[in-house]
């Protein structure tokens, strides 16, 4: 399986914005964006005019990096979203319903990358059944629950104590000893993570349909 193995902070430096890829580090003084670090590469300090194509490409890359997608995954989600009347809103809704994103936004993991590790290592159940596929698209009524074994529960509880984000309206925490949450409804454009809510999806549609 293909995966990105370089330092993830390079992606934030390349886009010039925080993509919140490293959990609590992104809120600390060590964040390269807060330190005004230049883009990666020997010509990082050079500033040139970005072409129209480049502007659209950067928007698409920001969305991919933020949700941890590869190009093939992005194409698959875009093909599904294209069947809806509002392609941009449907694309964002699909990404918000990914299992790794739901686990992160419930506060079970400090970042989407950490959420993928938790899922891949078998720490969560989806509708009562083991699920180790982070890209699963959840449906309204689906329940994600941490396994009852001590190792899984302690890991998630520690993350919930250090949670940096609030629970969005389309999700709810189910009270109980074991961390558990439910997808209440399909998320709308207003439910998109506020840290990426300024993304211009129309530009993404324009480059994806070329």
- Condensed to tens digits (0 to 9), the pLDDT of residues 116-134 reads 989 999 899 999 999 999 9
Confidence of residue 188 (pLDDT cuts 50, 70, 90): very high
Q: Select the more confidently predicted residue: 193 or 134.
A: 134
pLDDT at residue 168 is higher than 80: yes
Please report the beta strands in 89-207, taking only residues with DSSP state E, as ranges in sequence order: 124-126, 129-130, 143-146, 171-173, 180-183
Q: Which residue has the higher pLDDT, 188 or 198?
A: 188
Report how far apart, in Å, the C-alpha atoms of 133 and of each of 51, 120, 122, 143 are.
37, 6, 9, 15
Give the CA distances from residue 150 to residues 146, 147, 179, 180, 209, in Å, rounded to whole numbers and listed in that order: 10, 8, 12, 15, 48
According to the model, what pLDDT value does residue 199 have? Answer: 87
pLDDT at 51 over 60: yes
My answer on whether 76 and 104 are in the same domain is: no
Domain that holds residue 68: 9-95+193-208
Q: What is the mean pLDDT of the chain?
A: 83
Task: Judge if 91 and 124 occupy the same domain.
Answer: no
Are residue 179 and residue 153 in the same domain, yes or no? Answer: yes
Q: Is residue 2 part of a domain?
A: no
Shared domain check, 197 and 154: no
Residue 22 has pLDDT above 70, yes or no: no
Residue 52 lies in a domain: yes
pLDDT at 179 over 70: yes
Phi then psi for 183, rounded to 5 degrees? -85, 115
| Same structural domain, 127 and 105 | yes
Domain assignment present for residue 139? The answer is yes
Q: Do residue 124 and residue 141 come from a single domain? A: yes
Rank 6-10, 26-30, 202-206 by mean pLDDT and report only the highest: 202-206
| Range of lowest pLDDT (44-58, 81-95, 126-140, 188-202) | 44-58
Q: What is the mean pLDDT of residues 161-185?
A: 86
Count: domains in the chain: 2
Residue 179 lies in a domain: yes
Please give the pLDDT value at position 160: 78
User: Quick one: 17 and 88 in the same domain?
Assistant: yes
CATH number at residue 110: 3.10.290.10
Same domain? 91 vs 122 = no
Residues 80 and 120 in one domain: no
pLDDT given at position 111: 86
Indicate which CATH number applies to the domain containing 84: 1.10.1050.10
Whether residue 4 is contained in a domain is answered as no
């Amino acid at each position: 399986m293909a995966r990105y193995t370089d330092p993830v902070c390079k992606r934030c430096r390349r886009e010039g914005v925080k993509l919140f890829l490293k959990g609590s580090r992104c809120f600390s003084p060590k964040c390269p964006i807060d330190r005004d670090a230049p883009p990666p590469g020997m010509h990082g300090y050079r500033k040139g005019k970005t072409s129209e194509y480049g502007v659209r490409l950067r928007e698409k890359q920001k969305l991919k990096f933020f949700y941890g997608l590869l190009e093939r995954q992005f194409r698959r989600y875009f093909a599904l979203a294209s069947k809806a009347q509002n392609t941009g809103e449907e694309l964002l809704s699909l990404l918000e319903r990914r299992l790794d994103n739901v686990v992160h936004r419930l506060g079970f993991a400090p970042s989407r990358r950490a959420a993928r590790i938790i899922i891949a290592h078998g720490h969560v159940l989806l509708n009562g059944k083991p699920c180790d596929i982070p890209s699963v698209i959840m449906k309204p009524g689906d329940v994600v629950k941490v396994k009852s074994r001590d190792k899984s529960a302690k890991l998630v509880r520690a993350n919930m104590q250090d949670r940096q984000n609030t629970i969005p309206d389309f999700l709810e925490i189910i009270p109980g000893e074991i961390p558990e949450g439910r997808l209440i409804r399909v998320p709308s454009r207003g439910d998109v993570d506020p840290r990426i809510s300024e993304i211009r999806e129309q530009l993404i549609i324009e480059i994806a349909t070329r």
